[in-house]
Structure 1
């Protein structure tokens, strides 16, 4: 099982790594993907997309809401052992697919396509922020992968009690 917030942050890291590979390769072949004016417009569009997408996910609209999925998560009897996302910071399958597709589009069609992975990364970052806030407000932890037949389904477990600096439970 994988903690939902860690899964989303790992996806952001993977998309960022794809951009880190695609932009220099594209710049070496075609020059800079965007000029200074285009970069400002791109950044504004990316920020606007991230905000609107996260607000749609935070809504209670049936087909858009991520919050409804959080609330419908199946409860787990015992919380699973949390695996650190630092051990696997990149999803290699997603990195390979995203990098190959992005490089193909950037080299064959439009150099600005080298920045495409930033769009899903912005959406995933908003989903991670939304899930972290939901977990904090509800005192629960969201998990993915508890059902092998439907790995996208979410499960929820109680948040473990915080520990002191010595590792002892609080009094």
Structure 2
């Protein structure tokens, strides 16, 4: 089990690791990129943050509608036996497979097209930061912590993706 906030914010480190691995190779082959693409890149990053905010704050299914997922979270019957130790959730949130999913296309397309391609992984970051911050305040407002994972004794129902526990159950 990992906290949903940790899952969202771990993307920053995952994308950073992927760029850290691929950037030296791509920049070594192509050199530093020209700065005439900086404004469009910033506009796309801003749009990513805006769509992340829309997805997390609405119930609409076609906009992402994650707010409905938060409200339908299944309360854990026995949080103490299921939840990880404090700070363990953040360690478990780091997903090496996502690093590979970002790093491989970045490396291939960066070598084929040019050095600006190494920044495509950054498009995940604003959306996840917005979702993580929104979730942090949502959890505080509702007095619960939201968790991703599976509990064999308490399976999730249809359209349920998260578990909840009282905020006092763990420092998470």
TM-score (norm 2): 0.80
Q: Deviations over 1:127-167 (max 9, x none)?
A: 211211210110100000034687x820011101799xxxx
Unpaired stretches in structure 1, ≥5 consecutive residues: 164-171
Q: Could you tell which deviates more after superposition, 120-129 or 67-76?
A: 120-129
Return the structure number with greater relative CO, CA threshold 8 A, min gap 6: 2
Tell me what 2:161 maps to: 153
**Distance in 1 between residues matched to 2:5 and 2:162, nearest whole Å:** 11
**Distance in 2 between residues matched to 1:141 and 1:11, nearest whole Å:** 19
TM-score (norm 1): 0.81
C-alpha contact (below 8 Å) 1:14/1:95 kept by paired residues: yes
C-alpha contact (below 8 Å) 2:52/2:128 kept by paired residues: no
Tell me what 1:38 maps to: 37
C-alpha contact (below 8 Å) 1:147/1:153 kept by paired residues: no
**Distance in 2 between residues matched to 1:61 and 1:134, nearest whole Å:** 18
Tell me what 1:114 maps to: 118
SS in 1 for 2:168: coil
**Distance in 1 between residues matched to 2:109 and 2:86, nearest whole Å:** 35
Q: Which runs of structure 2 are paired with 1:92-171 in the superposition (5 Å)?
A: 92-147=96-151, 153-160=161-168
Tell me what 1:22 maps to: 22
CA shift for structure 1 position 48 = 2.8
Larger helix proportion, structure 1 or 2?
Answer: 2
Query: Runs of 4+ in structure 1 displaced over 6 angstroms?
Result: none
Aligned pair in 2 of structure 1 residues 7, 82: CA closer, same or farther (>3 Å)? farther
